[in-house]
């Protein structure tokens, strides 16, 4: 019989991919939208657009690095647990 863990081995990878994709798409789209809105409201084209996209880019990079680092730590922790279980 196939264990539940073996059946869905890909699920954590898909979840991580979706989270990282969200960190790429959502801040950039919000930066583009609010940058255009601010430029049209204050007649500052293209400066507030460029600034908001730059801030969104920084937020995206910070979010990706933090989430990827957390995932790497979780993978290392799981590997250590598996090694400890196999030694016993």
Per-residue pLDDT tens over the stretch 26-42? 999 999 999 999 999 99
| High-pLDDT (> 90) share of the chain, % | 72
Task: Identify the pLDDT of residue 1.
Answer: 46
- pLDDT at residue 33, as a whole number: 97
Quote the pLDDT of residue 2: 52
Q: CA 86 to CA 74: how far, in whole Å? A: 18
CB 84 within 8 A of CB 66: no
Strands of the chain, DSSP E: none
Q: Buried b / exposed e across 58-70, counting CB within 10 Å, b at 16+?
A: ebbeebbeeeeee
What pLDDT digit, counting tens, does each position of 62-77 carry?
999 999 999 999 989 9
Q: What is the pLDDT of residues 40-51, one digit of tens each?
A: 999 999 999 999
């Amino acid at each position: 019989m196939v264990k539940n863990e073996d059946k869905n081995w890909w699920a954590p990878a898909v979840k991580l991919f979706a989270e990282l994709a969200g960190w790429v798409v959502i801040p950039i789209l919000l930066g583009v939208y609010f940058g255009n809105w601010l430029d049209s409201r204050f007649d500052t084209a293209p400066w507030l657009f460029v600034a908001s996209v730059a801030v969104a880019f920084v937020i995206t990079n910070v979010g990706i690095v933090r989430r990827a680092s957390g995932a790497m730590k979780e993978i290392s922790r799981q590997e250590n647990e598996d090694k400890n279980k196999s030694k016993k």
